[in-house]
Structure 1
């Protein structure tokens, strides 16, 4: 969690996203630049719900 972008943490803490984000999504995006993390973490989760 320490490697995640502030935007990702904010979206997780405030829970304003209706989609479920898995630990796998978060661990996969932790190595990415902060600018890309939210897109990867939350877009992957949204696609899994469709």
Structure 2
């Protein structure tokens, strides 16, 4: 939720509740819409190099 609402990769529970405060009556709906939209934080990890399948 922190990434979708504030652009922060890591957010504590207190920070998320603070971000959702304007949507007090609809917190569950907002969380569900964000999940359905597919908004996720950027993933950082090693990328595999494509394998060469042709013979030299």
| TM-score, length-scaled by structure 1 | 0.34
| TM-score, length-scaled by structure 2 | 0.31
Higher helix proportion (structure 1 or 2): 1
Report 1 or 2 for greater relative contact order, CA contacts < 8 Å, sequence distance ≥ 6.
Answer: 1
